[in-house]
Chains A and B, each alone.
Chain A
Amino acid sequence: MMQPTRRATLFVTCIVDQMYPEIGEATAVLLQAQGVAVRVPRGLTCCGQMALNAGFRDEAYAVAGRTIEVLRGQGDIVLPSGSCTAMIRHLYHELFHGTPHQQAAEALIGRTYELTEYLVDVLGVQDVGAHYAARATYHDACHGLRYLDLSRQARTLLAHVRGLELVPLPACTECCGFGGLFAVKQAAISGAMLQRKLANITSTSADLLITGDASCMTQIAGGLKRNAAPVQVRHIAEVLVGR
C-alpha cells in the first residue's frame, strides 16, 4: 500500500452501519487504496436526518449536535451517501443557525464530502482499477443529485470499471419514493412511485442496479425482490471494489 497522503474520517451513516456493513467496508477499502488514511471514530452514529425529516427538530438538533462534536478536528469527512452528506452540507446551516454549534457546524460543512465526489473531484481519480462483470444501470439518488450536483462523478468512475456495461436508465433522476418516513407514512404513494422506478429498471434489461445511497437501495431492492425481478442491487462502493 502506498504511503498515506491524506487523512479522512469515514462516517458510514447509521443505515449502512446497521444494515449494510459491507458498504462501509468497501468504502474504507476504496479510500485506503487511494492512499487515504481512514479513521472511524468510536461513537459516531447518525446525522440526524430521520428526525429532521419527520419534523422533530429538537431531536435532530440533539443528535446532529453530538455528531458535530464527534467529528470535530482536522481532515476530510467522507460518507457513502449523498443524502446524509446533503443533510450536513445543506440542512445543518439552518438547523444550527444562531446556536452554540453554529461555528463547528460551518467548519464541518466545509470538509464533508460524498464518496464519489471525494474520489473524482477531490482526489482526481477516474479509474479505481475495478473489475465487475455485469450489465448495469444507475439510479441518481435525489439529494446528491440536487443538493450536491452529483451525477457525472459516479458515471465517470463506473465508465472505467472493466467488464461493466452501463446502460441508461429512463427517468434516472426521478425519485424512487423512499423519502425516509415518507415510505411508511405515505406507503401507498411511495409504492406507486416505486412501481414506476421498477418498470424503468426492468425496461433496461440490466441485471444490476447501482446507486449511491443505501436508503434508495432498501426501497428499490425490496421492490425488485417482491416482484421477483432478476436484478441485483449494489451500492457504488461495492462495485468499485470489484476485482
Chain B
Amino acid sequence: MATQMLPFYDRVEDALQNSTLQHALERNMPRFVALRAQALNKLIDEAALRDQARAIRAKSLARLDELLTRLADTVEARGGHVCWATDGKAAGQYIAELAQRQAVKSIVKSKSMASEEIHLNAQLEAHSLEVIETDLGEYIIQLSGETPSHIIAPAIHMTRQEIGQLFQEKLGMEPTEDIPTMTRTARRVLRQRFVQADMGISGVNFGIAESGGMVLVTNEGNADLTTSVPRIHVAIMGIERVVESLDDLAVMLQVLARSATGQKLSVYTTFLSGPTRPGEPDGPEEFHLILLDNGRSRILGSAYAEALMCIRCGACLNACPVYQSIGGHAYGGVYSGPIGSVISPLLQPDVPDVHQLPYASTLCGACQEACPVRIALPDMLLRLRGDAVQAGKVAPGEQAAMTAWQATMNNPALYRAGGTMASIITRLVGGREGVLKQLPPPLAGWTQHRDFPTFAKQSFSERWAAQHGTDEEPQ
C-alpha cells in the first residue's frame, strides 16, 4: 500500500529492487504466457474467432445506449432494480443506503474490478459495513491491506511463503507452505462468512441485453455462493460490458477464458437473472444491478473509445515485458499493465503522475498481439503521450530539446554539422534531471546498464556525397 503513495519512478525502483516480487514474477508470468499460447494454438481458426470477438465488442459499443436500456428494462421486468451510477461515489452511496435500509450487517463480495476501481470496500467500511472478499486472491490482498496487482490474479505478486505467513498472522493457521492447507483454511473462514452475510456483491463479466441476464466467470465457485446465499445481491457492471445476444456471449466467453488462463472455459460460468421467482429453490430475495459509468461515456466519445472493448482478461499484462519487470503495484492504480496505462489516465486524469504511465512502454506491441480483441494499445499510449505534452506536462528542458531537435532535423546544414544527435541526446537526458532528483545523474541512467557507442566521425550522407557527388542522380 505504502509503495503506491510514492511517485511513479520511485515505485518502479522499489519494484525492481524487491527480490520477493521479482521472484514471484519470474515464477508466475511465464506460466500464464505459455498457457494462453497453448490454448489459442489449439483453436482451428484463432484469427477468425478474435476478429469475431472484436466485431462483437465494436457492435456493442456502437449501440451501447440501446443495449443497456434493453438490459435494464429486462432486469426491471423480472423484479430487479437498476441503478445508473454516474460515478463511483454514486454507486457506493446507493449500496450503502440500500444496506442501511435493509439492516445489512455483513457483506460478502466476489471478485470485481469495477468495485476495486471505485474503492467500494473503503466506501462501505466508512458506513460501518463489514465487507469480506471471497475470491481467494482478493481475500489474500484484503488481509494484507493491498490492492490487486493483476486484473485476474490479484495476489500474483506474492510468493507462497508470504501468503503462508500472512495466514499464520491473520487467521492463526499453523506454519505451512502447503497450498491445499492454506486453501482449506481460507475456505473454512469464508464458509462461515457466506452463511452470516445478508448481502452479496459481485461484478459482471457480461450483461446480455436480449435476455436481461448477467454472466460471471470464476474458477473458484465463490461467485455462485455470493450471488445466491445472501438475501440481497448487488451486481456492479461497467456500462461497456454488455453484449447483445447469447450467441455473442458464446464467442466472448471462449476468447476470455483462453486469453486469461488458457482454459477452454472457466470452471464456473454463472448466469444471473435477478431475484428468485416463485418455485425456484434458491437465490436472493432482492437483486440490484449497478450500471457504472465513472468516465466511460466520456471515453466512448473520445479518440480512446477502443479501450472500452476490453474484457479484462489480463493477457496484455502477461505479455508485457514492462509488467513482467515491475509487476502491477508500480503502476499505482487499480488497473495495471498496458490496459492500465491507457485507462488509468482516462478514468482518473487528476491523479498527479498518472500521465507518466503511457511512457512506461517501449511500444513493442506485444500487448496488442496478445489482446483477444486486438485493441491498439500502443497507438493509444502514443496518443496519450501526445495529449500529455499538449497539456504542458513535460519535464523541464524537454521542450527546448525537442525544439532544437526539430530545428536540426529540418536544417540539413545544421544536421550535417555533426555532433548534433549527441548534443540533443545529452540535452534531453539532462532535461530529466529536474523531475528526478532522487535518481542518479541522468546520463548514468543509460550508462548504468550499458555503454553508449561513439558517434561516427563522418556520417553516411557525408561519405556518400564525397563518393558520389551531391547530384541527385541514381548511382
Taking a contact as CB atoms under 8 Å apart, the answer to whether B449 and A189 are in contact is no
Taking a contact as CB atoms under 8 Å apart, the answer to whether A226 and B460 are in contact is no
Interface string of A152-179 (1 = CB under 8 A from B): 0000000000000000000001110111
For residue B422, give the distance in angstroms from its CB to the closest CB of chain A: 8
Identity of the chain A residue whose Cβ is nearest the Cβ of B467 in the assembled complex: A25
A180 to B421 Cα, complex, angstroms? 13
For residue B164, CB closer than 8 A to chain A, the reply is no
Taking a contact as CB atoms under 8 Å apart, the answer to whether A189 and B460 are in contact is no
For residue A133, CB closer than 8 A to chain B, the reply is no
Instruction: List chain B residues, Cβ under 8 A from A142.
Output: 362-366
A7 to B473 Cα, complex, angstroms? 10
**Cβ contact of A186, chosen from B360, B364, B368, B421, cutoff 8 A:** B360
Report the stretch among A44-52, A102-110, A113-121, A123-131 that lies at the interface.
A44-52
Interface positions of B from 420 to 461, Cβ below 8 Å from A? 420-421, 425, 428-429, 432, 442, 445-446, 448-453, 455-456, 458-461
A43 to B463 Cα, complex, angstroms? 13
Taking a contact as CB atoms under 8 Å apart, the answer to whether A54 and B385 are in contact is yes
Residues of A within 8 A of B (CB): 4, 7, 12, 14-21, 23-25, 28, 32, 37-46, 48, 50-57, 59, 62-63, 66, 91, 94, 142-143, 145-147, 173-175, 177-196, 218-219, 221-223, 225-226
Identity of the chain B residue whose Cβ is nearest the Cβ of A61 in the assembled complex: B406
Instruction: List chain A residues, Cβ under 8 A from B385.
Output: 53-55
Counting chain A CB atoms within 10 Å of each CB, the highest count among B16, B410, B465, B473 belongs to: B410
Counting chain B CB atoms within 10 Å of each CB, the highest count among A12, A55, A62, A192 belongs to: A55
A55 to B345 Cα, complex, angstroms? 15
Taking a contact as CB atoms under 8 Å apart, the answer to whether A189 and B16 are in contact is yes
Taking a contact as CB atoms under 8 Å apart, the answer to whether B451 and A222 are in contact is yes
For residue B355, give the distance in angstroms from its CB to the closest CB of chain A: 9
Interface positions of B from 13 to 42, Cβ below 8 Å from A? 13, 16
For residue A79, give the distance in angstroms from its CB to the closest CB of chain B: 12
For residue B351, CB closer than 8 A to chain A, the reply is no
Instruction: List chain A residues, Cβ under 8 A from B406.
Output: 51, 59, 62-63
**Cβ contact of A222, chosen from B364, B452, B470, cutoff 8 A:** B452
Instruction: List chain A residues, Cβ under 8 A from B421.
Output: 14-15, 18-19
For residue B192, CB closer than 8 A to chain A, the reply is no
Taking a contact as CB atoms under 8 Å apart, the answer to whether A46 and B409 are in contact is yes
Taking a contact as CB atoms under 8 Å apart, the answer to whether B461 and A44 are in contact is yes
For residue B317, CB closer than 8 A to chain A, the reply is no
Taking a contact as CB atoms under 8 Å apart, the answer to whether B475 and A37 are in contact is yes
Taking a contact as CB atoms under 8 Å apart, the answer to whether A221 and B453 are in contact is yes
Known: A45-B408, A174-B366, A226-B451. 7 other contacts (CB 8 A): A19-B421, A39-B475, A55-B385, A62-B406, A66-B409, A181-B428, A186-B12
Instruction: List chain A residues, Cβ under 8 A from B465.
Output: 42
For residue B63, CB closer than 8 A to chain A, the reply is no
Taking a contact as CB atoms under 8 Å apart, the answer to whether B389 and A222 are in contact is no
For residue A234, give the distance in angstroms from its CB to the closest CB of chain B: 13
Instruction: List chain A residues, Cβ under 8 A from B13.
Output: 188
Identity of the chain A residue whose Cβ is nearest the Cβ of B461 in the assembled complex: A17
For residue B472, CB closer than 8 A to chain A, the reply is yes
Instruction: List chain A residues, Cβ under 8 A from B432.
Output: 184-185
**Cβ contact of B446, chosen from A25, A174, A183, cutoff 8 A:** A183
**Cβ contact of B389, chosen from A55, A63, A173, A196, cutoff 8 A:** A55
Given A19-B455, A32-B475, residue A187 in contact with residue B448 (CB < 8 A): yes
Identity of the chain B residue whose Cβ is nearest the Cβ of A39 in the assembled complex: B474
Can you list the 9 inter-chain pairs with the closest CB atoms, starting with the nearest? A179-B362, A222-B450, A187-B445, A55-B385, A191-B449, A24-B460, A37-B474, A146-B365, A175-B364
Interface string of B180-205 (1 = CB under 8 A from A): 00000000000000000000000000
Report the stretch among B117-125, B264-272, B282-290, B397-405 that lies at the interface.
B397-405
15 A-B residue pairs with Cβ-Cβ distance under 8 Å, sorted by A, are: A18-B455, A19-B453, A38-B474, A39-B474, A40-B461, A40-B464, A175-B321, A177-B362, A184-B432, A185-B359, A188-B16, A189-B16, A190-B362, A218-B453, A221-B451
Given A63-B409, A192-B16, A193-B322, residue A222 in contact with residue B453 (CB < 8 A): yes
For residue A62, give the distance in angstroms from its CB to the closest CB of chain B: 5
For residue B146, CB closer than 8 A to chain A, the reply is no
**Cβ contact of A188, chosen from B12, B456, B468, cutoff 8 A:** B12
For residue B58, CB closer than 8 A to chain A, the reply is no
For residue B325, CB closer than 8 A to chain A, the reply is yes
**Cβ contact of B390, chosen from A19, A44, A57, cutoff 8 A:** A57
Identity of the chain A residue whose Cβ is nearest the Cβ of B26 in the assembled complex: A196
**Cβ contact of B472, chosen from A19, A41, A175, A187, cutoff 8 A:** A41
Taking a contact as CB atoms under 8 Å apart, the answer to whether A59 and B364 are in contact is no
Instruction: List chain A residues, Cβ under 8 A from B64.
Output: none
Identity of the chain A residue whose Cβ is nearest the Cβ of B465 in the assembled complex: A42
For residue B84, CB closer than 8 A to chain A, the reply is no
Identity of the chain A residue whose Cβ is nearest the Cβ of B419 in the assembled complex: A18
A17 to B460 Cα, complex, angstroms? 5
Taking a contact as CB atoms under 8 Å apart, the answer to whether A56 and B409 are in contact is no
Taking a contact as CB atoms under 8 Å apart, the answer to whether A16 and B402 are in contact is no
Identity of the chain A residue whose Cβ is nearest the Cβ of B366 in the assembled complex: A175
Instruction: List chain A residues, Cβ under 8 A from B12.
Output: 186, 188-189
Given A186-B359, A189-B326, residue A225 in contact with residue B461 (CB < 8 A): no
Counting chain A CB atoms within 10 Å of each CB, the highest count among B360, B363, B406, B460 belongs to: B460
A4 to B474 Cα, complex, angstroms? 10
For residue B411, give the distance in angstroms from its CB to the closest CB of chain A: 9
**Cβ contact of A94, chosen from B326, B379, B461, cutoff 8 A:** B379
Interface positions of B from 304 to 326, Cβ below 8 Å from A? 321-322, 325-326
Given A41-B472, A146-B364, residue A225 in contact with residue B359 (CB < 8 A): no
**Cβ contact of A7, chosen from B362, B366, B405, B474, cutoff 8 A:** B474
Taking a contact as CB atoms under 8 Å apart, the answer to whether A14 and B362 are in contact is no
Taking a contact as CB atoms under 8 Å apart, the answer to whether A57 and B364 are in contact is no
A143 to B366 Cα, complex, angstroms? 10
For residue B249, give the distance in angstroms from its CB to the closest CB of chain A: 30
For residue B353, give the distance in angstroms from its CB to the closest CB of chain A: 13
Instruction: List chain A residues, Cβ under 8 A from B475.
Output: 28, 32, 37-40
Given A45-B415, A175-B362, A184-B446, residue A21 in contact with residue B463 (CB < 8 A): yes
Instruction: List chain B residues, Cβ under 8 A from A226.
Output: 449-451
A85 to B42 Cα, complex, angstroms? 33
